[in-house]
Structures are given as structure tokens and as C-alpha cells.
Chain A
């Protein structure tokens, strides 16, 4: 049985910007697959290429065994697409929009009516079906978009940042719904820059940064791969750099410490990788005392997805977000996306 999605060595440039440098991953049937990365990492461009909205420069893309580049029309039948920015026609009612969508997928009218009612009920939209979508809240719009992506019962549902801008409760409803979809056998491909979202939902994920895939696997696999437990240490609330250096040199001599990184973005706190199942905290504290340094805070944890991200990209997701936010020209990107 063909994989739900095969992407191999995808490349895509917008002008001089290499949005996607070299991206490969497989999505197996029946799983939830997450693309994790900061804004501007190339996730949306990858999705646009997959969904036939942008032409890749190079690479192979298949949906359910159908080549998107050679047979785009056929491939479009196999996936439903829920876009990042929900575009609804605000003059139409929810029901009218779904009816239009059903016709675009050539559903016979009896089946279309049945599917529309089913999905309105499933997504709790039955009271809103006859209201204009212009009156919908963000959560309702997202649900209607989800319904329109599922009308034709696709094997694959592609969601680009589906919970951006949603309140916590709507986000949980969305997660629950995507899990139900998976239980029913639908493959789900989701992009997100929320670690917890991917951690909670994805059976497998790929970490994308600067147009490249840096790691691929299940969340637990990836966490195991990055090794031992994490210890976060703050000597003071804002530690002077030379003190952080001093502490680093001291702690590196300890036998159970594998790695020490000074996190400049977090007031020169120290991130340590230590062997699993040792009890490092007391020893670390004593060691610091011995060279005359205090301890502001000290905590141990299993590796998180953020640690996986940090190990793969050399920066935390939040730092990457901040860096990207400064350099991106959203207007320009929108224009380019419109052109392609």
C-alpha cells in the first residue's frame, strides 16, 4: 500500500529566497504526522507544493501513490486542505459554502446533502449553518473550513497551522477532533509551530528549519535520541557571563555531566545534559558552593520536544521564532504566494 504522502528532495525558490532547500519525508496511512518548525521555516511552502498551489522547482511529491507534479488533477481528489488563513465567502451561509465545495468535488447532490448535514452536526455547526459566514467567530470559521476539507471523505487531511489564533478550549476541541479522524482511518498531516501541539497529537514528526528537515521520527524516539535528562540552572536571576563561564568549566568536570550550554537568551542560564537516572541536583549545588557561586534555581526534567528541537537546530523554537519575526517581510511573501 502506497504511503499517504511521499516527499523527496523538494526544492522551491521564490525569487532569490530559498523557501525550501531540501525537504524529504514520508507520511504513512492512518497516522498523524506533524511538521514542526518556526514561522518561515518552509512548512507552508512545502504544504503549498503538496496541495498543487505552488510549483516545486525540483523533487518528487506523491499523494496516495499519485504524483502531484504529473497528475495534479487526480491527486487533488485524495486530500482535503485546511488553509492557514481561512478564506470564506462572507456573503454565503455555511451551508451554501459547503454546497459549493461539494460541487467542486463533484459529489452527487443527494450524497452532498447528507454529508453536509453529517459534518455540520459532527462539528457542532448545526445552529450556524444558515448564518452568513461573515458573522462567524474564529473558532466557527475554522470548524467550517474543517468541514469543507472533509466533505469528499479524503484519505488525507492537510492542515496548515490549524490552531493559530484559537483560544485554548477551541484548540483542545480541534485536537480531539483530529484524533477522532485518525481513529476513523483518515491520515492527518499538520504543520505547527506549537511544540505542545505536535507533542500531543503527532505519531511522527519532522523538524523543519531554514528549508531543511533536521530530524524525523516519533516524539519518544526523538527524545530518546537526544540522550540524558536535562538540568536547567540559574546561578542568579540574571547571571554575569563570566560567572556562567566559571560554572560551566566547573560542572564539565563532573562525571555524569555530558554537556553544558550557556543560554544567552535566558539571562545566561545553563542547560546541562546529564546521564539518565542519576541524582545530580545536590552534587551540582555543592559543586557550585565549593567555588563560591549561589544557586537561584535548579530543575531536572526528561528531554522535551524543545530539547529535541534545540539539539537539531542549535536554538530553541522560541528563539527561532523571534529571529524569524525580525527578518520576515510578510507582505512580500503574500505577494509571492499569490504569484506562483
Chain B
């Protein structure tokens, strides 16, 4: 079998219908993995040759951490709820915000591929499913978010915020994964729905900072005006920040630890995680029709 599909070297311009039959293979999953990995590899080659995005993505949160930490340096210890200084309070917020910003930009490379026509190269290929394009971007962004998170966790430890245990780090990784998955999907959906990169950048610009300020990244719910407290309690970022903050300041934690107090009551770890999973599910469902329209 494998012999017959090898092209005759003397006539490598000849068509080979057997190849089309063979790659029709029953093994759809293997094909999906092959195309997704190849597309992911492309993004990593780009990153390796053009590392400025990643460098900026690491430097920026460090600046946040240092500058914001210094801004509120003399705020009384314990003002922010736990018995900690502001720098310690801030670290979880910066972790989530950084992952969120990266994920929000995930659609940009796809938008540029659309505008430059590179996407056509992918769309005329017999991909098992065009969701491999989405999967590749998601894998790439999650990998970046983990690198950034690692750096911030390390830097926060050096700045005195402490370091959660192994279980805590795994929990942080899970939460970062959940928030990145949903936001990346949202951004990719926009990359297919909006007319061009100018519009996409506008949406990113308008979303990014307001979502930060309307979350508990910089200040606890108890500091906020009542209306903002409500808004922040619906913000997915809050659901990622609060459990990570809890992990940072409590060495013993479990699924029933109360990690967040919304205006309507207390929520434990399990509930907050469920909300994040639901957020991902809703976003993926929402973008389905968008992707299908493009991917018919």
C-alpha cells in the first residue's frame, strides 16, 4: 500500500488519485491532530522569529505589578480584606488580566490572515474540520498565557506575595485555562464576524480596560459603588480573580471554600468554577453560527 502511493520520481508532476483516496482515511481524529499541530507550529515559528509580542506580553504585567503596587504602597495593611499589602492583593488580578488581554488579541492574527489572503490557503485545503484553525489559535494563546502566568507568579513571589502549593498552582492553571478558552473563542468569533482589523482593534480597545476596572483585579467588591459591585459580580474576570486570590492567601482550600461574596450571597470554589465552565460553553455556542457561516 505505502509503496503504491509513493510518486514515481521520474514523473512527479503526474496526478495521483490514489493519494486523494488514501488521505480520505477513516482516521479523522489523526487528520485533525495533524492539521491542528501544523497550524499551531506555524504560530510558534512566527513567535520564535518575532518574539517582541511575547516580550511585551511579559514586561507589561510586570510593570503593572510594580507600578500599581508602588502606587498604593502606603495603604494600610489589611485594608483590602486579607491581612496583606496591596502588592500581594494585586498579583492575582494581574495574572488574570494578562491572560485575558492575550486571549482578547487572539483574533488578530486570524484577521490578518483573512486580509492578506493566507486564510484562503487554509480554506481550499481539505481540512477535517475548519475548527482546527480555532483549535490551533487556542492552543497557542493558552501556551502564551501559561508562560506569562509563570513569570508573574514568579515575580510576585519575589515581591513578597508568596507562592501557592502544587495543588494551588494546578488550580491557578485550570482557572487561567478556562478564562483564556472562552475569551479566545470570543475573539476568534469576532475575527470572522467583523469587516477588518481596524474594527477588531476598536472592539479590543473598548473592551479591555473597562472589563479590568469592572472586576476585582484592582480593588475588592467591598470598595465599589453598589452598581459597579453588581456589574463586577457578573464579570467573568471576577470569577477567575477571586478564587486565585483565595488560593494565594489560604493554604488550606477545597471545593466548598467560600471564595467570593457577591451582592446576592456567598459562592464557593465549585460554584465559581462552574460559572467559568458555563461562560466557555455559552461563548462556544454563540460563535458556532458565525464560524459555520464562514466555514460552510
Contacts and interface: CB of A to CB of B under 8 A. Distances in A.
B42 A76 contact: no
Interface stretch (B113-121, B177-185, B256-264): B113-121
Contacts of A186: 13-15
Interface centre among B31, B118, B120 (most CB of A within 10 A): B120
Contacts of A83: 117, 120-121
Contacts of B37: 103
Interface string A42-53: 000000000111
B124 interface: yes
What is the interface residue range for chain A against chain B? Answer: 35 or more
Interface centre among B14, B118, B123, B124 (most CB of A within 10 A): B124
Contacts of A81: 120, 124
A55 B294 CA distance: 10
Contact of B35 (A74, A78, A104): A104
B42 A92 contact: yes
A70 B201 CA distance: 36
What is the interface residue range for chain B against chain A? Answer: 35 or more
Q: Chain B interface mostly helix, strand, loop or mixed? A: helix
Contacts of A159: none
Nearest to B46: A91
A77 B14 contact: no
A89 interface: yes
B117 to A, nearest CB: 4
Interface stretch (B18-26, B73-81, B241-249, B278-286): B18-26
Interface of A: 51-53, 55, 72-74, 76-79, 81, 83, 85, 87-89, 91-92, 96, 99-101, 103-108, 111, 114-115, 118-119, 122, 132, 148, 150, 152-156, 180-181, 183-187, 335, 338-339
19 contacts: A76-B126, A77-B23, A83-B117, A96-B45, A99-B38, A104-B35, A104-B38, A106-B128, A107-B19, A114-B7, A118-B9, A153-B12, A153-B16, A180-B13, A184-B13, A184-B15, A186-B13, A338-B195, A339-B195
Interface of B: 2, 5-7, 9, 11-17, 19-20, 23-25, 31, 34-35, 37-39, 41-42, 45-46, 49-50, 114-118, 120-128, 195-196, 296
